[in-house]
Amino acid sequence: MTLLGRRVLRTEDQRFLTGRASYVDDVRAPELEGAAHVAFVRSPVASGRILDIDAGAARSMPGVVAVLTAAEVDLPPEPPVDERVHQGMARPYLAGRLVRFVGEPVAVVVAGDRATAADAAAGVAVAYEPLPAVVDVEQAAGDGVLVHAGAGTNTAARFEAGGGDGEVGGDAEELFAGCEVVVRRRLVNQRVAACPLEPRSVAAGWGDDGRLHVWSSTQTPQASRAVIETALGLPAGTVHLVAPDVGGGFGPKIGLHREDVLVCWLARTLRRPVRWTEGRTENMAAMGHGRAQVQTVTIGGRRDGTILAYRLDVLQDAGAYPRDGAILPELTGAMAAGVYDIPRVHFRARSVVTNTMSTTSYRGAGRPEATAALERAVDLFAAGAGLDPAEVRRRNLVPAGAFPHTTAVGTTYDTGDYAGALDRVLDAAGYGELRAEQARRRQAGDVVALGLGVSCYVEVTAGLRAGQETATVIVRPDGGVVVLTGTSPHGQGHATAWATIAAERLGIGPERVEVVSGDTDRVPVGGGTSGSRSLQLGGTAVHEACGRLVDAARARAGELLGAPADQVVLDGAAGRFSVGGAGGDGPTWADVAGAAGPDGLQAEAVFRAPTPTYPFGAHLAVVEVDTETGQVTLRRMVTVDDAGRVLNPLLAEGQRHGGIAQGVGQALWEEMAYDGDGVPLTADLASYAMPTAGDLPAFELVAMETPTPVNPLGAKGIGESGAIGSTPAVQNAVVDALAHLGVDHVDLPCTPERVWRAIVTARDAV
């Protein structure tokens, strides 16, 4: 019986549920013996000149090892993330003259224990001269207040795409020529915080082998190792980095932050091991944030619901120092056309710096923003044409027979059945009955309004330029199997998934497979985990390495059997080799691996995908809105998330559940807010409204699989899909619930206050 496609239970969970997981803070190693602890002194002002830093009191505290400022740290500033980004906006490791966001580190304290380090950091007195701050991205775009005066502008980068057959540019009159209905709207896709259960954490110490040993809560161990070696000017191979169990990533843990590198620098400079784990408020203020776009959509078409043209203009808030967030509009633009066959699409974006924490990758990373804009635009267009929003979508979807399909912005989708996904969701939800109930409530004047929100989406996984991943599979002389993978899990279930693939290919039990990841000595090359890349790249690499291992084993078994390799067959059910598939007591994997020598038998593979893959789906949200208070309650969430062929439905559903919850959180509650002076207003979990299980209904997951030809598994990514489709579905449902009251839009998040104000404004306008 095949293991692929079955609900195989996660093997990792035993450790997690019994408290035997090991995170960075749990690591005890010889290289960390006697480790000192780090605390950062962070700026309480968003924009200011540092006049003086008095560390005398802190240095005199018992147990304090060192207090260092920018003048004592010989690390060059971090250059912007990409060559397309303005190079005059580099970030120092410690602010020396100017601070540009609340939470920027200005000094670092090292002490014998964590409490002493925190007390000493509080004892460092810093005098600031406040300077004008710019927090609003639209104001920043006007360059009235410059975040980096030397750059001469707040614009960090620009992006543009599309037009339609390369003929129509961004001119509105030309783009929307022939349109009978044209709708324009400003939208806000708010700034959010990732809130991983484990905040950033790193430990570093030099070993007797003359190498720097680092433990880091990172999604990308190999890339993180390279960052440290480059920043510290160390020869390749000097750093050994281990990502132990990682308590959530969601994007901001891709690579390393400046604080992580500084801890490694301290270990070298002070000649003693050093550890740092941030607190929650520190994490909220100083780890990269997500989203943060102001969007203007313009959509036009015929009154029969045919969409002819669409334009999306984006202002991306990059924060004080451009990181990944500054270039994510490229992904927003690539996915601007969504699932629709729109002849003319134009995208334009500016990334702008502000006196806030930098933005970076966050679950979906540019693709949710594209879907949120387009799906609100489609609802606005449907309302303008007086048509049902589900029917408008169906009329404009790319047909199932049109793949591969290239959009008006030049993105080519691999496979899809967008109408099939929409129909499955509408049928599963009982769309017609829900509309009838909505009509009954409105006719009865019910103060609790019912709203239905639909969204259709397509996203890109494994990056716009595809990618590659490595795997090595070893069969030990005892018959046990070791899989070395370049992916690095932080909750996805890779140990279960890769063991399942290896067991299926090798004809052994998955319990005999050990999966190793996150250790750069054992796995020196790898891409880590981000962008929903793991199964389609890492899983395929394991699949191919196992295939090569079988070929090598057939040759070795042939020697034992006295037969040519091309006559040797692996019996997948019995895990034995025989001539011509005759069965019997032929050599086992242990026999073959033992004959190969003390190291057993191994094979390697590097899988390079020719293109990315494009998962898709449809979501339907059902909400109730108390029109007297603005309170929104999500009653149902029905979704199709088609990620190609599914390896393990249990793992896939777990990813869908997590993504949907995160998307709903953005739609209804979450916002990383600043006041006008750049001070965070939601810097802890008491003020940042993150949903719990009690705030959410049981999600109704509808199955659908459309395999891709891009890899032999037929798999696409699933890690981010739920967060892409759910947010606009819920937002559309809230607006739909209030449409009969004259409300045509509510910005994210749809909090009770914001909903109530929209109701009052519409009522007063009558």
In single-letter form, the type of residue at position 538 comes to: G
Distance CA 330, CA 464 (A): 9
DSSP H stretches of helix in 449-579: 494-506, 540-561
- Average pLDDT for 181-192: 98
Residue whose token pair is 């932050």: 257
Tell me which H or E stretch contains 707.
Answer: none
- At residue 521, the pLDDT reads 98
Say if residues 499 and 483 touch (Cβ distance below 8 Å).
yes
| 692-728 burial: b if 16+ Cβ within 10 Å, else e | eeeebeebebbebbbbbebbebbbbbbbbbbbbbbbb
Residue/partner pairs of 755-760 with CB below 8 Å, 24 or more apart: 755/625, 755/630, 755/631, 755/632, 756/629, 756/630, 757/630, 759/627, 759/630
**Orientation angle between helical segments 589-596 and 540-561, nearest 10 degrees:** 80
Write down the H helix ranges in 417-519. 418-429, 431-444, 494-506
The pLDDT value recorded for residue 166 is 43
CATH number listed for the domain at residues 34-131: 3.90.1170.50
- Among candidate residues 571, 284, 223, 618, the one with its CA nearest the CA of residue 419: 618
Mean pLDDT along residues 614-620: 98
- Decide if pLDDT at 164 tops 90: no
Do 267 and 276 form a contact (C-beta atoms < 8 A)?
no
- Residues in Cβ contact with 327 at an 8 Å cutoff, skipping those fewer than 6 apart: 81, 82, 84, 85, 157, 351
Q: Would you say 39 and 104 are in contact if contact means Cβ atoms under 8 Å apart? A: no
pLDDT in tens, 682-692: 999 999 999 99
For 371-415, write each residue's pLDDT tens digit: 999 999 999 999 999 999 999 999 999 999 999 999 999 999 999
Cα distances from 341 to residues 337, 344, 371, 553, in angstroms, run 8, 9, 15, 50
Give, in words, the CATH class of 290-463+612-765.
alpha beta
Given strand 468-475, what is the order of strands in its sheet? 513-516, 481-485, 468-475, 601-608
Looking at residue 173, what is its pLDDT? 80
| Residue 151, C-beta contacts closer than 8 angstroms, at least 6 positions apart | 86, 88, 89
pLDDT digits (tens, 9 = 90+) for 47-99: 999 999 999 999 999 999 999 999 999 998 888 888 999 999 999 999 999 99
- Angle among Cα 541, 247, 691 to the nearest 5 degrees reads 115
- SS3 labels along 327-366: CCHHHHHHCCCCCECCCEEEEEEEEEECCCCCECCCCCCC
Residues in the chain: 766
Please state which CATH number belongs to domain 468-608. Answer: 3.30.365.10
Could you tell me how far CA 596 lies from the centroid of its own chain?
Answer: 42
How confident is the model over 574-602, as a mean pLDDT? 91
Q: Which of 46, 23, 81, 79 is nearest to 285 (CA)?
A: 46
Average confidence (pLDDT) over 587-597: 95
Tell whether omega for the bond before 749 is within 30 degrees of 0, i.e. cis: yes
Q: Name the average pLDDT for the chain.
A: 96
Give the confidence band of 163 by pLDDT, cuts at 50, 70, 90: confident
**6 vs 81: which has the higher pLDDT:** 6
Buried b (16+ CB within 10 A) or exposed e, 332-355: bbbbbbbbbbbebbbbbbbbbbbb
125, β-bridge pairs: 54
Q: Give the domain ranges of the chain.
A: 1-27+200-277, 34-131, 290-463+612-765, 468-608
Mean pLDDT for the stretch of residues 723-740: 98
Average pLDDT rounded to a whole number, residues 183-194 = 98
Amino acid residing at 239: V
471 close to 538: Cβ distance less than 8 angstroms: yes
Is the pLDDT at 766 greater than 80? The verdict is no
Burial class (CB in 10 A: 0-12, 13-18, 19+), 630: buried
> 1-27+200-277 with 290-463+612-765: one CATH topology?
yes
Mean pLDDT of 241-254: 97
Q: Which stretches of 540-631 are assigned E, i.e. beta strand?
A: 568-571, 576-579, 601-608, 616-626
Split at pLDDT 50, 70, 90, the class of 169 is low
Q: Cβ–Cβ contacts within 10 Å for residue 521, how many? A: 13
Q: By three-state DSSP, how is residue 379 classified?
A: helix
pTM above 0.95, yes or no: yes
* Residue 170 binned pLDDT confidence (cut-offs 50, 70, 90): low
- pLDDT (mean) for 219-240: 97
Count of C-beta atoms within a 10 Å radius of residue 435: 15
Strand 468-475 relative to strand 601-608: parallel, antiparallel, unpaired? antiparallel
Summarize the confidence of residues 671-697 as an average pLDDT. 96
Q: CATH for 1-27+200-277, among 3.40.50.300, 3.40.50.720, 3.30.365.10, 3.20.20.80? A: 3.30.365.10
Give the pair of three-digit tokens for residue 659: 């993504």
Q: pLDDT tens digits, residue range 498-550?
A: 999 999 999 999 999 999 999 999 999 999 999 999 999 999 999 999 999 99
Give me 111's structure tokens: 């002490």
